[in-house]
Structure 1
Amino acid sequence: MTRSAQASPRTTKGGRWLGWAVFVVGALYAVVSAYWAVGGTAGLDTLGGALAEMARARDPQLIVIVWSTVVLKLVGAVLGLALVQPWGRRVPRWLLLTASWGATVVLVLYGGVLVVAQSLIAVGVVPRASSFDPVAFYWHLFVWDPWFLLWGVLLGVATLRFARRRQDPGSHSANQG
């Protein structure tokens, strides 16, 4: 079988699940934010403090910020698919790698730092603030912040697999300018 007749390594089943996992994790996060942006109130207590109050009050600045995060989360979700889908070949390889590594760093650092800091608070190494909100704290410790970390790790592994792949004719090699 000739090289051009073989399935592209970017579209083989072995690595596609990573791109889809990145997409699903990011898209679900975007859906939650969009729900809150349109006025949904379920789960706002898990955000905590002033943020939850601002969301309930429909603070216009917060709504703009939340919609902005929805867009960023969707972009981050689509990055995972761009790494494994044929249409991703239209994006210059250097741009896709730069965006994916950049998003990986942001997600892993954000989620990782928060999970570590909150874990130190949870075990008593760092004292709790006087305004400690146990509902929001434990949701952030066990759901919201590990979700960012997981998303970043998945994107990082997908990006690493993509970066290590030898380019096949017609992939990103023609777009490397």
Structure 2
Amino acid sequence: MKKNYWMIGIGMVWTVIFAAMNFYWAIGGLIGARSLGGSIYEMAMNPSRSFVVILWLTGAIKLLGFLLLSLLLIQWKKPILNNTLFYVTKFIGVLLFLYGFLNFTTITLSLFHILDFDLELYAVLWRLLFWEPFWMAGGVFYFFSVKS
């Protein structure tokens, strides 16, 4: 397994930023919350205890990606570890990209009134110009962190 250290590094920074957003919102920060729109924004304005717990857990789960990328920096002697890390990293990259791409597609369809989402135009534009491409970029960073 060959490693692309630039992609690993960028992926690690991306992951920390991504998790930090959740932690920021969990402590009551509201910057960027409106850009998510819909019920998420409404919950952020008056967060329940369970919503805050979900934000903390989501941030912690996102940091598992940092651990995964960190494991790529170790020179493992056992091929099974290298192979496992290779396939897990590729799989996570594909999932991140697809999640962003599918959201991008459905939100674009809502922009043209083909699907009906409860999102104001402000949130739609933020989702299309920032959030969904941000997910897809993370997928690219993870996917291209390793190569055979």
- TM class by shorter chain equals 0.7 to 0.9
Partners of 2:16 and 2:24 in 1: CA distance: 12
Match of 2:93 in 1: 104
Deviations 1:124-175 (A, max 9, x none): 2x4363744111111111111111111011111113x2xx1xxxxxxxxxxx
Q: Is the 8 A contact 1:19 1:155 kept in 2?
A: yes
Q: CA deviation at 1:78?
A: 3.2
- The 5 A counterparts of 1:1-177 are 10=3, 15-83=4-72, 85-86=73-74, 89=76, 92-122=81-111, 124=112, 126-127=113-114, 129=116, 131-159=118-146, 161=147, 164=148
Q: CA deviation at 1:25?
A: 1.1
C-alpha spacing 1:148/1:104, structure 2 compared with 1 (3 Å) = same
Deviations 1:1-35 (A, max 9, x none): xxxxxxxx65xxxx211100111111111111110
Q: Is the 8 A contact 1:23 1:79 kept in 2?
A: no
Partners of 2:105 and 2:117 in 1: CA distance: 20
Partners of 1:152 and 1:130 in 2: CA distance: 25
Partners of 2:47 and 2:9 in 1: CA distance: 33
Unpaired segments ≥5 residues, structure 2: none
Partners of 2:77 and 2:9 in 1: CA distance: 18
Unpaired segments ≥5 residues, structure 1: 1-8, 165-177
Partners of 1:102 and 1:111 in 2: CA distance: 14
Q: Which runs of 4+ in 1 moved over 4 A?
A: none
How much is the aligned-residue C-alpha RMSD, in angstroms? Answer: 2.3
Partners of 1:100 and 1:117 in 2: CA distance: 26
Q: Is the 8 A contact 1:47 1:140 kept in 2?
A: yes
Report the residue type matching 2:69 in the other structure.
Answer: G
Aligned length: 145
TM normalised by structure 2 equals: 0.84
User: Sequence identity of aligned pairs in percent?
Assistant: 26
Secondary structure, in 3 states, of the residue corresponding to 1:102? helix
Secondary structure, in 3 states, of the residue corresponding to 1:47? coil
Partners of 1:82 and 1:57 in 2: CA distance: 38
